[in-house]
């Protein structure tokens, strides 16, 4: 990331911190997967937004008083023995050049530094990036551990989550961020086309996942999230990710995938016939979802709410399914459409955003209507990434084909496998 971009982010962050406060932003750590093996490291996205670094265990620390704002980056010491096992460790000078942070100290000095800061200024508030609670994961994070330790040692400190400050900062994207999401969308397009080229009945969903993964690795990108390659009835499951079924005759493939560049995510869903040709009923339902996608995108502009965009899509769904005699009342729609119209997109595929507020120019959101008809074994979702502008929007994923005829023509071309 460019130094000016990082310095601008830190300045905005520091301006939001009240006087007589400290902020601790931890980079995250390596987590054990089994025995002495680890999951791939994922930097905390707020830490990356402020420092541009993807290195474990580092701490970005801010002290703010009426007189000054002081920032310090705490890092590993150089260690020749450790470098033989885990790789090169950057010098202080190199880290300053990478992040723009002048004041660099070592991690083993942090607690002394914190105690000294508290003794000098009696700070009242600690802002920290503890992971947000969820219902499906329970683990002890380094941020959570430090929050607990510091609150016990300094019981008068009010602990606050930096998400309150970071959410509005990250919601509106700067030019550098939009450019990276454009790049991620281009890679995603290549991956989706590769899947369409190799798709056929009788192969495993894993083969399509491999085709997408190939394009991501080839482009020196990463995955925004684990690919969802759901054929047939698997498309009824929103977060299906085992991707291990054999694709059956006349099956649809719902591919919810995304590449990322420097953590900036694309998140795209395309649904296509495995054999290159929609059945009559598949085409009818696909066209309803496509119309909902296009109608919802047409609603996007500054000042509009997610609820208003949702209404645009649901009207299409209700009328379309009523015409097909699949439902008779609007209350029944929840049986066939059971998620929301979209979400914020950025450093996380699901960036945090207060969805009750009006959209602002510079936000990037997904538009992803879907219908899931259990009695027909059909699940169809069409998802695009959309940049909000003052007068409307720009579809960042517009190059990824989604018209039914375009998909069929592309998949049936005789020379398609030679591309």
pLDDT digits (tens, 9 = 90+) for 349-378: 999 999 999 999 999 999 999 999 999 999
In this prediction, residue 346 carries a pLDDT of: 98
Is residue 136 pLDDT above 60, yes or no? no
104-135: b or e for each residue (b if 16 or more CB lie within 10 Å)? bbeeeebeebbeebbeebebebbbbbbbeeee
DSSP letter, residue 174: P
The total number of structural domains in the chain stands at 2
Is residue 411 pLDDT above 70, yes or no? yes
The residue among 415 and 63 whose pLDDT is bigger is: 63
| Of the residues 154, 169, 184, the one at which a domain ends | 169
Return d(Cα 401, Cα 33) in angstroms, integer: 38
Torsion on CA atoms 53, 56, 57, 61, rounded to nearest 10: 10
205-218 and 175-198 helices, crossing angle to 10°: 140
Ramachandran quadrant class, 248 (left: phi over 0; alpha: psi -120 to 50; beta: rest): beta
pLDDT digits (tens, 9 = 90+) for 252-292: 999 999 999 999 999 999 999 999 999 999 999 999 999 99
Do 340 and 287 share a domain, yes or no? yes
In this prediction, residue 183 carries a pLDDT of: 98
Task: Annotate 203-233 with DSSP letters as a single string.
Answer: SBHHHHHHHHHHHHHHTT-EESS--EEEEGG
Is residue 75 pLDDT above 60, yes or no? yes
Within 13 Å and on the Cβ side, how many CA atoms surround 115? 7
In this prediction, residue 269 carries a pLDDT of: 98
| Of the residues 169, 187, 221, the one at which a domain ends | 169
Return d(Cα 86, Cα 80) in angstroms, integer: 10
Do 143 and 185 share a domain, yes or no? no
Q: What is the rounded average pLDDT of the residues 399-418?
A: 86
Give, for 22, the enclosing helix (H) or strand (E).
strand 21-26
CB 370 within 8 A of CB 381: yes
41-69: b or e for each residue (b if 16 or more CB lie within 10 Å)? ebbbbbbbbbbbbbbbebbbbbbbbeeee
Beta strands (DSSP E) in 258-383 are 259-261, 264-265, 268-273, 364-367, 370-373, 378-381
CB 25 within 8 A of CB 72: no
1 — pLDDT class (breaks 50, 70, 90): confident
Cα separation values, 301 from 189, 233, 266, 352, Å = 24, 35, 20, 19
C-alpha of 205 from chain center: 23
Do 243 and 134 share a domain, yes or no? no
140 — pLDDT class (breaks 50, 70, 90): confident
36 — pLDDT class (breaks 50, 70, 90): confident
In this prediction, residue 414 carries a pLDDT of: 52
Q: What is the rounded average pLDDT of the residues 143-167?
A: 92
Structural domain of residue 50, as residue ranges? 3-169
Is residue 132 pLDDT above 80, yes or no? no
Do 340 and 410 share a domain, yes or no? yes
306-323 and 280-299 helices, crossing angle to 10°: 150
Do 111 and 187 share a domain, yes or no? no
Is residue 135 pLDDT above 70, yes or no? no
Do 101 and 194 share a domain, yes or no? no
CB 53 within 8 A of CB 41: no
Do 193 and 289 share a domain, yes or no? yes
| Of the residues 146, 169, 192, the one at which a domain ends | 169
Is residue 158 pLDDT above 60, yes or no? yes
Return d(Cα 311, Cα 327) in angstroms, integer: 17
pLDDT digits (tens, 9 = 90+) for 281-320: 999 999 999 999 999 999 999 999 999 999 999 999 999 9
Residue 7's domain is classified under what CATH number?
3.40.350.10
129 — pLDDT class (breaks 50, 70, 90): very high
CB 120 within 8 A of CB 20: no
- Count Cβ atoms below 10 Å from residue 404 Cβ, excluding itself: 17
Return d(Cα 164, Cα 273) in angstroms, integer: 43
Return d(Cα 160, Cα 62) in angstroms, integer: 14
Nearest to 161 by CA among 296, 24, 288, 302: 24
CB 178 within 8 A of CB 387: yes
144 — pLDDT class (breaks 50, 70, 90): confident
- Count Cβ atoms below 10 Å from residue 371 Cβ, excluding itself: 24
Residue 405 phi/psi, 5-degree rounding, is -65, -40
416 — pLDDT class (breaks 50, 70, 90): low
Sign of CA dihedral 35, 37, 39, 42: positive
Q: Mean pLDDT for the chain?
A: 95
Nearest to 181 by CA among 297, 261, 99: 261
Do 267 and 366 share a domain, yes or no? yes
Do 59 and 158 share a domain, yes or no? yes
pLDDT digits (tens, 9 = 90+) for 176-201: 999 999 999 999 999 999 999 999 99
Paired strand residues for 70: 63
Do 333 and 206 share a domain, yes or no? yes
Give, for 106, the enclosing helix (H) or strand (E).
strand 104-106
Task: Name, in order, each residue with C-beta under 8 angstroms of 168's C-beta and a sequence gap of 6 or more.
Answer: none
Do 151 and 266 share a domain, yes or no? no
Residue 222's domain is classified under what CATH number?
3.90.230.10
Do 218 and 364 share a domain, yes or no? yes
- End-to-end C-alpha distance for the chain, whole angstroms: 33
């Amino acid at each position: 990331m460019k130094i000016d971009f990082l310095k601008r982010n830190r300045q905005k962050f520091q301006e939001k911190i009240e006087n007589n406060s400290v902020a601790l932003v931890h980079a995250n750590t390596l987590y054990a997967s089994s025995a002495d093996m680890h999951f791939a490291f994922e930097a905390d996205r707020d830490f990356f937004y402020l420092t541009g670094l993807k290195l474990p265990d580092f701490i970005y620390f801010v002290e703010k008083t009426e007189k000054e704002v002081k920032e310090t980056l705490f890092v590993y010491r150089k260690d020749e023995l450790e470098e033989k096992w885990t790789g090169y460790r950057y010098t202080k000078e190199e880290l300053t050049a990478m992040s723009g942070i002048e004041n660099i100290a070592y991690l083993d000095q942090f607690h002394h530094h914190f105690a000294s800061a508290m003794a000098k200024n009696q700070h009242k508030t600690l802002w920290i990036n503890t992971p947000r609670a969820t219902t499906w994961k329970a683990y002890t994070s380094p941020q959570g551990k430090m929050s607990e330790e510091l609150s016990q040692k300094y019981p008068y400190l009010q602990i606050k989550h930096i998400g309150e400050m970071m959410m509005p900062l990250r919601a509106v994207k700067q030019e550098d961020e939009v450019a990276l999401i454009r790049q991620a969308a281009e890679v995603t397009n290549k991956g989706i086309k590769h899947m369409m080229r190799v798709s056929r009945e009788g192969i495993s969903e894993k083969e399509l996942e491999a085709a997408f993964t190939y394009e991501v690795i080839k482009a020196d990108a990463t995955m925004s999230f684990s690919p969802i390659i759901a054929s047939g009835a698997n498309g009824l499951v929103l977060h299906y990710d085992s991707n291990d079924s054999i694709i059956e005759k006349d099956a649809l493939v719902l591919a919810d995938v995304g590449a990322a560049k420097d953590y900036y995510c694309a998140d795209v869903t395309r649904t296509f016939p495995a054999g290159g040709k929609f059945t009559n009923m598949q085409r009818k339902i696909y066209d309803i979802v496509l119309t909902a996608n296009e109608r919802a995108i047409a609603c996007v502009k500054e000042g509009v709410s997610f609820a208003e965009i949702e209404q645009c899509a649901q009207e299409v769904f209700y009328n379309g399914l009523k015409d097909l005699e699949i439902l008779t009342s609007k209350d029944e729609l929840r049986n066939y459409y059971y998620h929301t119209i979209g979400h914020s997109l950025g450093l996380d595929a699901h960036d945090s955003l207060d969805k009750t507020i009006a959209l602002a120019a510079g936000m990037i959101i997904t538009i992803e209507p879907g219908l899931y008809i259990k009695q027909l074994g059909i699940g169809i979702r069409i998802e695009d990434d959309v940049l909000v502008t003052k007068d409307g929007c720009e579809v960042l994923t517009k190059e990824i084909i989604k018209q039914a005829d375009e998909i069929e023509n592309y998949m049936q071309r005789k020379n398609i496998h030679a591309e």
